Amino acid sequence: MGGVVKKLVGGSTKKESSTQTSNNTQSSFLMNVPDYAKAVKNATGSIANINIPDYQLAGMPQEEQDALKGLMGGEDYSLYDNAQKYMSGQANNLIGQGTKNTTGATDILSKLQNLSQSDYQGMFDSEYNGDLVNSQIAQAKSEIQDTLLSNLHGIDQSASMSGNMGSSRAGVMGGVAIGQAAKAVGSATVQYQTAEEQAAQDRVMSYLNLKTSTAGQLATIGQNQLSTGLNAYGQGVNYGGQYIAGQLQNKSNSVNAGNIIRNYSQQQLDVDRQNSLINSSPSLARLAYANQTFLPIANLSQVSNGTATVSQNVSQPGMLGSLMSMGGMVAGYYGGGGSSVSTEQQGNNMMMGGVIGGMAGKAASLF
């Protein structure tokens, strides 16, 4: 029931079919020339007489074969490997020696820096030569004693000769001589002790300065050895990198050379296979060779005929659409001014109203 109402008020579609026939013919104008057609016929009859030579592959030059063998064998990069090992060995030795020397220098300077007053006094005491001082003092005493005895003997002789032996004057002179001798002994003692103390202090300072200088030299030597060792290690790394790069290049060259040889061998296999196919079926080979010439001619001589049926749906307006279209024309006439406008304007107004009314009716048919 709903479909009938919709058809009455909203319209419907109707399928219409049509049949179309087309003919298309292609032909070669050359085949219409008798001489050309005769030549094609004669050529077709000569297919069995075609002599197809064997396929051949050009030989590989000896120089190329030698070059490929060289690439497959690779270059000798052992020099870089040996250089890397040598430089690495030298680097390890230098770095080890440098570390040992710098550590030794650090130990010396640390000990010198941590010397206490008692350590210094102990070093001074070990350097002070008391036996030498005592020997020198004893020698000086002996010499002063001999001089004193000589002076006293001279005083006694003078006093005896002058008749003043045992006088107070002689006694004073003897006392003075003895006092001078004692003073000389004391002076010599102080002199020898002071000299030895200064010498001992100088020896201690000379020893400390020598140790400090030695530590500085060891530190300098150690730093130079470390720097040289690190440079040698870097050079060894570079040589090692060149050796690895050379090995990779050898492998790459070997792969490329192998591809060339394999491709050449594959080409030879393809040639042998093609020759085997030709020898096993020479008629088929001749036909394939002749088709290179005849197939283009055959394609130009094809004829095609065809018939096609085309169907399409045509919209059919419903009652509601027709009524609304007619109402739109009336509304367009009166809404546009009626008879007060020109005839041409009246026609345009009615046509516009009909279009709008028809569109409204079609929209209503969707619900």
Classify residue 98: in a domain, yes or no.
yes
123 and 237 assigned to the same domain: yes
Classify residue 236: in a domain, yes or no.
yes
Classify residue 357: in a domain, yes or no.
yes
118 and 263 assigned to the same domain: yes
How many structural domains is the chain composed of? 2
270 and 171 assigned to the same domain: yes
pLDDT at 358: 57
218 and 328 assigned to the same domain: no
CATH number of domain containing 98: 1.10.287
Classify residue 7: in a domain, yes or no.
no
196 and 254 assigned to the same domain: yes
260 and 332 assigned to the same domain: no
Give residues with Cβ within 8 angstroms of 307, minimum separation 6. 19, 20, 21, 22
353 and 213 assigned to the same domain: no
Give 203: exposed, middle or buried? Use CB within 10 Å, 0-12, 13-18, 19+: middle
* Domain final residue, candidates 222, 250, 276: 276
pLDDT at 247: 92
272 and 333 assigned to the same domain: no
- pLDDT tens digits for range 154-207: 555 555 555 554 445 545 555 655 666 666 666 767 676 777 778 778 887 888
**Which of 126-135, 230-239, 289-298 has the least mean pLDDT?**
126-135
Classify residue 361: in a domain, yes or no.
yes
User: Residue 203 CA to chain centroid, in angstroms?
Assistant: 61
334 and 224 assigned to the same domain: no
212 and 358 assigned to the same domain: no
Classify residue 47: in a domain, yes or no.
no
pLDDT at 335: 61
324 and 271 assigned to the same domain: no
- Quick one: pLDDT band at residue 7, thresholds 50, 70, 90? very low
Q: Percent of the chain at pLDDT above 90?
A: 22
Q: Helix or strand or coil: residue 56?
A: coil
Tokens of 60: 């590989």
- pLDDT tens digits for range 236-258: 999 999 999 999 999 999 999 99
| Per-residue pLDDT at 329 exceeds 50 | yes
Q: Helix or strand or coil: residue 341?
A: coil
pLDDT at 229: 92
Give me the domain span that covers residue 109.
72-276
Classify residue 331: in a domain, yes or no.
yes
85 and 188 assigned to the same domain: yes
- pLDDT tens digits for range 15-50: 555 555 555 555 566 677 788 778 878 888 888 887
* Domain final residue, candidates 276, 294, 329: 276
* Domain final residue, candidates 243, 276, 309: 276
Q: How far apart are CA 193 and CA 226, in angstroms?
A: 49
Distances (CA, A) of 339 to 14, 324, 325, 331, 356: 39, 22, 20, 13, 21
Classify residue 198: in a domain, yes or no.
yes
- Quick one: pLDDT band at residue 299, thresholds 50, 70, 90? low
